Structure 1
Amino acid sequence: MFEGFTDFLSGFPLAERTALVLSISLVSAVLLEVVVLRLARRFVRGTDSELDNIVVEELRLPMVVTAALVGVWVLTQPDLGAADVIYQDQLTNFFGRPSASLIVVVWARALNNIVNRIVENVQQSGRFDFAPVFSNVWTLVVLVGAAFFLLTIWNIEITPLLGAAGVAGIAIGFAAKDTVANFFGGLALYFDDTYKIGDYVVLDTGDAGTVVRVGIRSTTLLTRDEVMVTVPNSVLNSARIINESAPQRRKRIRIPLSVGYGTDLDVFEDLVVGVTEDESLVKDSPKPRMRFRQFGDSGLEYELLCWVSSPSREQKARHRLNRTIYRRLLDEGIEMPFPKRDVTLSFADADRSVIADADGLAAAESGGD
């Protein structure tokens, strides 16, 4: 294709060749902007996804710039027959390489923005808040790739740089091993889908709270006391984590109850279930139910099972249910047993005589007064 294009250009004088190449380049840029990209924007507006809008918006600038500057680059290439050999080096240094570098920069910026905006869009839709990890990693990849192309365009030898980068990478790896461990720990948590923003988690250390931020180095929890707890990702990756918000946000709570022997169990069960159904914090489905667990030392051991809409409502619902059930049981005269102990004192004969003498002495002293 380039040979045919070269043969075509060789039939024109230098000035005409230059004007022809630049004209074709500028016309291509205008057609891209006015026709192709306009039709593409109109098409993606009719779709439900926001991702294609992001791609079209970010690719607009690099495509137009590439179309506009490719003619300048062509003019500096001797094998395409569009440049005067006498001024080849000057054309390449002042026009060819800068135009190619600008093309690389705008494409690197566009690729970086596309991925970062897509990650942000996915994050806003409720997925795991891992934008810092993907954004930073992708930005690093784009920067390294753009630097490689720029060095190649300007004929800079990169072999010494690669050796120095390898040594620097080893040194940085030893110096930042904890940070690297936290980073890969965060990646493991993400791909395992352990939790996401808004989930209520309980750690094996006893810490519990709502996940409010997931970063490259650590995860931040907001406890019920409104205290922020920051936990390194490497620790979470090796810890036992209970996600009470997954797979559904609702949570079942268990409230132990005890009732005295001889109680009418049907009345007792209906009363407790009725109180639970009237509580606004308790979900209507699944329905609350009572379970007779065992015969206790002081009474019959029951367990009330009901559901709340989220783990954060458990403690408030438990408090309100306990208060209401207690008042209703008192009103109905239903006994809630508690441990009782009978203490019996037994004395030997010698002990009785000592106690009697002490009592007699106390009586005599009081009579004398």
Structure 2
Amino acid sequence: MVPWGIYVHVPFCPYKCAYCDFDSGVHPQETVAAYVAALREEIARAGVETLSVDTIYFGGGTPSLLDPDVLGELLHTVRRTFAVRPEVEITLEANPGTITAEKARAFRALGVNRVSLGAQTFEEGELRRLGRRHTVEQIGESAALLRAAGMENLNLDLIIGIPGQTLTSWERTMDRAFSLRPTHLSVYLLEVHDGTPLAAQLAHGRMVEPDETLTVTMYYRFLERAEEEGYEQYEISNFCRPGFASRHNLKYWSDEPYLGFGCSAHSYDFRERRRNLATPQAYIAAMRERGEAVAGRIAMTERRRIEEALMLGLRRRSGVNLSAFRERYGVEVLDLYGDRLAPLGEAGLIEISGGWLRLTRRGLIVANEVFAVFV
């Protein structure tokens, strides 16, 4: 049986970032306590003691704000409810400045063995434009505290496309990021969502986004630096030192099952995709009233599963193994989609080599156009 992943959503933050459109932010302590109680109930109700789990991911929000005792309660509930493997990967998302030496040691003692640190940039001005309140120095300080506590598996999140960002400032951010020698780096394009403070500032001309050509140049420059520094690109936005790919995130791109708990969390079990209610308040109320918080379901027909497996599989840098895909799903990809894929190959966006279908370097930046052929 394929082991499952567990995702636990913690929507609490010390402040709201200018670009964030998630239902996250500052909440009173009574809401936090009620939410944690609802989480523990939802996890316990989903329990199948024989269900094997090999990854647990605490995302947010800012899960590192949780008191270690609270995190311990949640982990205890997961371990009591599922068959958690000894080699489990336990990831905790954290913001620089929210980690103390005491907290780092406590998290490690609970079994946390991977931390994803939301650095975003190593330029003070860019941090302020994003509405981030941590400093550049706190990024390094947090990384040092985590390593001192025995957590070597460290990811740094970085953003390209920040208003005012230049190729020169991006080079400085890359220099600082690689100098910390994290085991993993994730690089994302800034998305500007309607209704956020950042969107309003851009609309009123108070900030200017980098042009698309510059953003593409920054992304390609990162590909070059990552390779020079000994990192493997294993997904469009993710890079790691050998052996340190995110085992949890690989499940999303490999058509593997996972359970999501908390508001906005998603689950997938091959048969359907489920999503929970979006806000902490609605989630807490639903758990109290009906013992579950599902807001929507999508049935996974055979065709939908094939389409999603191809779209998500192509996010991996290795691509889709056509022979393995035929064995697993009983279809020939080129028979189904050959006519639609041919123009993409002619345009240099995809390639087929050694039995693998993958995005080219050029295809990485227009991946959504490629994925559209499967919808």
TM-score by length of 2: 0.21
Q: Higher strand share goes to which structure?
A: 2
> Who wins on radius of gyration, i.e. which is larger?
1
TM-score by length of 1: 0.21
Q: Higher helix share goes to which structure?
A: 1
Name which structure has the greater RCO, CA cutoff 8 Å, separation 6+.
2
